[in-house]
Amino acid sequence: MDNKKIKAGITVFPGSNCDADVYRVLKSVFGVNASFIWHKDEIEDLKKYDFIVIPGGFSYGDYLRSGALAARSPVMESVKDYAAKGGIMLGICNGFQILLEAGLLDGVMLANRSLKFECKDVYLKTLNTETPFTCAVKKGAVLKMPIAHHDGNYFATESLISGLVRKKSVIFKYCDEKGGITAGSNPNGSIRNIAGISNETGNVMGLMPHPERSSEKILGSEDGGWIFKSIIKYIKEK
């Protein structure tokens, strides 16, 4: 199967601002047939997409809470339906926040421990390589990707966390360069260094760091590319 035949849908809310980056990377780096989904298109049939990306940004200016208003946008009904039917869906940064607000993933985002916006490169330890988002990643691999967020401090109750752990839904944790999951390598105070989780069925993942900004060597890291490569591999092998 040619990558060109894989169809990716990228949601666009007012204030989304990583939509164009995801679009360009999917198209020009991975050769995927990407297109935008405008937030008001409530009846759009999402079935035609092989996967959906909810990109980062400041949907609705982050008013009320990050992701709260977008989660209640017309298109989200179709998005929820798509997820319920097992569709592959990746939420990046604000997209992760939207997935939490929409109830598609468990937990909440608090403001960073520093109470500041943090933009920097972080390292991620891959805990589960048997997901549509990580199936091309080497077991235990450490990936370098940038974060850029104000509210990335993931929190969930102990019982939720143990559920996530049991179901292998904790996919990425912040770590140091060598893969050590340490307090010093946690950029935002996330509970247990959690950077990315999936839903119970494994078809929806939220991730705070930006894989689209780390898919080309010239930008300092190609590691984020593994996530897109995994999705493509998974779809091809499905």
Partner 1 sequence: MDKTKKQAEKLFGLSAEEYEKISELLGREPDSFELGIFSAMWSEHCSYKSSKVYLKTLPTEGGKVLIGPGENAGVVDFGDGDVLVFKMESHNHPSFIEPFQGSATGVGGIMRDIFTMGARPVANLNSLRFGSFSHQRTPYYLSEVVRGIGFYGNCMGVPTVGGEVVFDECYNDNILVNAFTIGIAKKDGIFLSSKCEVGNIVVYVGSATGMDGIHGATMASEEFDLKKNKKRSTVQVGDPFTEKLLLEACLEAMEKKLIVSIQDMGAAGLTSSSFEMADKSGKGMLIDLDAIPLRTAGMTPVEMMLSESQERMLIACEKEKFAELKAVFDKWGLNCVKAGEVIKEKVIKFYYKSKIYKTLDVDVIVNGPEYKRPVKKPEYLNKIKPVKINNYKIPENLNALAVKIITHPNIASKRTVFTQYDYSIGTATVVPPGFSAAVLRVNGAGGGKNKPKKGGKGFLLNAGGNSRYTYLDPFTGGALAVTECARNITACGGYPVAITDCLNFASPEDPEIMWQFAYAVEGIKSAAVKLNTPVISGNVSFYNETAKKDGGGTYVSKINPTPVIGMLGFTDDVNKALTPCFKNEGDEIYLLGSLKGSLGGSLYMELAHGDFRQKPADLDLDYEVRLQNCLRSLINKGFLKSAVDISEGGIFTALAESAITNPEKILGFNVNCDIKAHGLRIDEFLFSEFEQAFIITTVQKPDGRRKSETAAILKKYGIKSEKIGVVEKGAMKINGIINLKSDKIKERYYSAV
Hey, which residues are catalytic here?
Answer: 93, 210, 212
Nearer to partner 1 among residue 36 and residue 129 (C-beta): 36
DSSP string across 11-41:
EE-TTB-SHHHHHHIIIIIT--EEEEEETT-
Told to check if 106 binds partner 1 by CB under 8 A, we report no
How far, in Å, CA of 35 to CA of 116, rounded? Answer: 33
Q: Please pick, from the candidates 48, 158, 183, 217, the single residue that binds partner 1 as defined by CB under 8 A.
A: 217
| Residues ≥6 apart with Cβ < 8 Å to 15 | 57, 58, 59, 60, 61, 62
Q: Which helix (H) or strand (E) holds 215?
A: none
User: 220 in the Ramachandran plot: left (φ > 0), alpha (ψ -120 to 50) or beta?
Assistant: left
Q: Which of residues 36-95 bind partner 1 (CB under 8 A)?
A: 57-58, 60-63
Distance, CA of 59 to chain centre:
15
Residue 122 and residue 187 in contact, taking contact as beta carbons nearer than 8 Å: yes
Segment interacting with partner 1 (CB under 8 A) among 42-50, 100-108, 192-200, 217-225? 217-225
Nearer to partner 1 among residue 53 and residue 170 (C-beta): 53
Told to check if 13 binds partner 1 by CB under 8 A, we report no
Told to check if 18 binds partner 1 by CB under 8 A, we report yes
Task: Give the nearest distance from C-beta 185 to partner 1 in angstroms.
Answer: 15
Which residues contact partner 1 (rule: CB under 8 A)?
A: 14-15, 17-18, 21, 24-25, 28-29, 31, 57-58, 60-63, 116-120, 146, 148, 150, 210, 212-213, 215-220
